[in-house]
Amino acid sequence: MSLILCESLVRIYQTGSIEVQALQGLDLAVDAGEMVAVVGASGSGKSTLLSILAGIDAPTAGRAHIDRWDLLAMSRADRVRYRRQTVGFVRQQTASNLVPYLSARQVIDLPMAAAGVPGRARRERTAELLETLGVTDCADRRPAQMSGGQQQRVAIAVALANRPRILLADEPTGELDTATSAEVFGALRHVNREFGVTVVVVTHDPAVSGQVERTVAIRDGRTSSEVLRRTATAANGDTHMIAEEYAVMDRAGRVQIPREYREALDLTRRVRLALEADHITVQAADRAGEENR
Ligand code: ADP
Ligand code: MG
């Protein structure tokens, strides 16, 4: 069963008389232990999706089940519990994840103190997280005394302090250079393997999304395609990565045909579908037939 299951998720923002459909029927299923990258143009709804998964924002319609929670039917108290126990969140702005006057050790301790974890367990968990994220040497430093990459690794430690099942990161490398992005992304992959935490990370960096097994593309508030990567072993023992792109079909059977395909075959409003023994064909509608209608 999926740990995260969103079906036909809709989020409409209303500002005055203007309505923005940030999510327009998004489908997403993520299994426990997976690491998924979410990509898409600016304004496609990535941050809206992550805010909903984080329990910061509520969907307008659709289904969103995460762990044992139904995000469309949560009380305010449930939401607080959900945010404290089930998800950890890392923001893009390195500065907004930390507190200027607190050391790494102190800021990692904060969410555990808020959850009432005893002092000794807190100290042990803090040491473990600093070690796992390779920032033990930053334990007593404040953000201003750390590099951008170290700040984001400490932010990951803060997000993981209360052992959430899900780690969400919204463009965590957006403000970093390429080498530092790779370092932070490496840290996300490491905690995914080390702790088994499920990771959903938004990125616009193709080099970064190329490193995860599964990339989900969002377009206009919908999941439009997924790329799955796996390593294959050739007869001579060499291994190489295979990436395959899939279109995503929603529960009503809708599939988006990429623009390049539509343009190449001049597909417009009507297309002819035909069921073959093991596949379906999509063809331009017969123009003559259209004229005779
Ligand atoms: P992304 O993270 O992919 O760039 P967002 O989820 O931030 O996209 O935004 C999706 C759409 O929703 C955009 O058109 C954006 O302008 C709009 N939007 C996001 N947040 C709000 C808000 N609080 N109020 C009104 N519109 C919003
Ligand atoms: Mg965004």
Contacts of 270 (CB under 8 A, 6+ apart): 285, 290
116 and 166, same domain (yes or no): yes
Q: Is 185 a domain residue? A: yes
Pocket test for ligand 1, best of 12, 13, 52, 60 (most atoms within 8 A of CB): 13
Q: What is the pTM of this model?
A: 0.88
For tokens 């998800």, what's the residue? 87
Indicate if ligand 1 lies below 6 Å from the C-beta of 203: no
Q: Is 37 a domain residue? A: yes
Higher pLDDT, 135 or 243: 135
Q: Which numbered ligand comes closest to the C-alpha of 11?
A: 1
**For residue 50, what are the β-bridge partners?**
none
224 and 271, same domain (yes or no): no
Q: Is 182 a domain residue? A: yes
139 and 211, same domain (yes or no): yes
CATH classification of the domain holding 103 = 3.40.50.300
102 and 223, same domain (yes or no): yes
211 and 271, same domain (yes or no): no
Indicate if ligand 1 lies below 6 Å from the C-beta of 44: yes
- Most confidently predicted of 128-137, 199-208, 232-241: 128-137
Question: Residue 272: which domain range?
Answer: 257-293
Indicate if ligand 1 lies below 6 Å from the C-beta of 196: no
Q: Which atom of ligand 1 is nearest to the CA of 48?
A: 6
80 and 138, same domain (yes or no): yes
Q: Is 240 a domain residue? A: no
Q: How much of the chain, in percent, has pLDDT values that exceed 90?
A: 63
For tokens 């490491």, what's the residue? 190
What pLDDT is stored for residue 288 in this prediction?
A: 47
Q: Is 134 a domain residue? A: yes
99 and 198, same domain (yes or no): yes
Average pLDDT rounded to a whole number, residues 200-227:
84
Q: Which of 66, 58, 91 is nearest to 4 (CA)?
A: 66
Q: Is 244 a domain residue? A: no
Distance 275 CA to ligand 2 centre (A): 40
134 and 266, same domain (yes or no): no
pLDDT tens readout for residues 46-83: 999 999 999 999 999 999 999 999 999 999 999 999 99
Q: Is 12 a domain residue? A: no
Q: Are the C-beta atoms of 166 and 89 separated by less than 8 Å?
A: no
Please give the Cα distance from 245 to 253 (Å, whole number).
18
pLDDT tens readout for residues 150-183: 999 999 999 999 999 999 999 988 778 888 888 8
Mean pLDDT lowest among 212-216, 277-281, 285-289: 285-289
Distance 173 CA to ligand 2 centre (A): 12
105 and 157, same domain (yes or no): yes
Average pLDDT rounded to a whole number, residues 250-267:
85
Strand, coil or helix: 258? coil
130 and 195, same domain (yes or no): yes
Indicate if ligand 1 lies below 6 Å from the C-beta of 97: no
107 and 204, same domain (yes or no): yes
Q: Which atom of ligand 1 is nearest to the CA of 11?
A: 12
- The three-point CA angle 91-208-38 to 5° equals 60
54 and 188, same domain (yes or no): yes
Q: In 133-276, where does DSSP find H-type helix?
A: 148-160, 178-195, 206-209, 259-264
Domain count, the chain: 2
